[in-house]
Amino acid sequence: MRENSAAARELMKRARAEKFAVGAFNLDNQETLKAVVRAALAKKSPVLVEVSQGEVEAMGMDNIRDMVDNYKSLAGIEMYINLDHSPSVEAAIAGIEAGYEFIHIDVSQAKHEATDEEIINETLRVVEYAKLTGALVESEPHYFGGSSNMHKEKINYEEIKKTFSTPENARQFVEMTGIDTFAAAIGNLHGKYPVPKILDLNLLKQIREVIDCNISLHGGSGTPEHYFVEAAKIGVSKVNINSDLRIAFRNTLEKVLREHPDEYAVIKLMGEVIDAVQEAVESKIDALGSAGKTII
């Protein structure tokens, strides 16, 4: 476990030094995992795969670890697991004990009314426990808007700006918790919307100047890819992608089902779906600049 976490830490250092970001791609099932693995292999890119509480409950914490390790070994790729939006200290600890290299404790997402003191204290508990394996801990002192879905409403930026990170708050939170990764809020909403997202890169630069830990961006789906290029140059090391993969999966599956109404062998229906998700992952890898950056 410690060896894997040490390698993950080195990856984050490389990303920041070489001005690229690593994609963290959500897994809904084995087919999504296969798509990410194939994309990582084709692009020679390091990748993170991530699961939130729903996927953990559906697939099992330890089973996900075993699946990822099996594919990682078979394909010979650089791949790590991120436990995303862990809703409690107990859930985060379970991820640490399962050997996940990246742990996101998200107190404010699970409990919108959580006080600053609660968020800091619970984050501190996870940071302390993570010393067991050396896992990198990610957190934030604010609530992210949106959800990992296809939204029909437009983005109300006046409201969203109320939840943006500030340089001073970011600095204080990092200093008080000792986290490895700060999840910045600069317009990067969860989910996909009818209009492209707009990221405040000037704010990101200000945050980068006052904290020395890794910076992540959640809500990467539906974001014009030039923002990824610029964010990596500024010093973002990790970008989470979920909805774009789900949309590629569902849209392609619906197309395949329409074209093959008499086919019931699921494995025969999945080939084109996996290809579509792989294509989506490869596009993000190119934008993030991580192609050719893997080290085995």
Instruction: Determine the Cα–Cα distance for residues 209 and 156; give it in Å rounded to an integer.
Output: 28
Residue 191 parent element (H or E): strand 190-192
Q: Where are the alpha helices (DSSP H) in 28-179?
A: 30-43, 53-59, 61-75, 89-97, 107-110, 116-129, 157-160, 167-177
Q: Which of 28, 84, 106, 200 is catalytic?
A: 84
For residue 259, is it within any domain?
A: yes
For residue 294, is it within any domain?
A: no
For residue 85, is it within any domain?
A: yes
The one-character DSSP state at 251 is H
Domain with 194, as residue range(s), is 2-288
Report the pLDDT value the prediction gives residue 145, as an integer from 0 to 100. Answer: 59
Report the pLDDT value the prediction gives residue 152, as an integer from 0 to 100. Answer: 62
Q: pLDDT digit of tens for each residue in the chain (296 aa)?
A: 799 999 999 999 999 999 999 999 999 999 999 999 999 999 999 999 999 999 999 999 999 999 999 999 999 999 999 999 999 999 999 999 999 999 999 988 778 788 999 999 999 999 999 999 999 999 999 766 555 555 566 666 777 777 889 999 999 999 999 999 999 999 887 666 656 778 999 999 999 999 999 999 998 888 888 999 999 999 999 999 999 999 999 999 999 999 999 999 999 999 999 999 999 999 999 999 999 999 87
Residue 84 annotated in active site:
yes
Domain count, the chain: 1
Q: Domain with 102 in it: what CATH number? A: 3.20.20.70
Report the pLDDT value the prediction gives residue 163, as an integer from 0 to 100. Answer: 81
For residue 296, is it within any domain?
A: no
Report the pLDDT value the prediction gives residue 208, as an integer from 0 to 100. Answer: 98
For residue 293, is it within any domain?
A: no
For residue 216, is it within any domain?
A: yes
Q: Residue 21 in contact with residue 239, Cβ under 8 Å?
A: yes
Instruction: Determine the Cα–Cα distance for residues 95 and 99; give it in Å rounded to an integer.
Output: 6
How many whole angstroms from its chain centre is CA 230? 18
Is 0.85 surpassed by the pTM of this model?
yes
- Reading the block at residue 129, the tokens are 């426990």
For residue 53, is it within any domain?
A: yes
For residue 177, is it within any domain?
A: yes
Report the pLDDT value the prediction gives residue 153, as an integer from 0 to 100. Answer: 60
| CA torsion angle 223 228 231 232 (round to 10) | 160
Q: Residue 216 in contact with residue 251, Cβ under 8 Å?
A: no
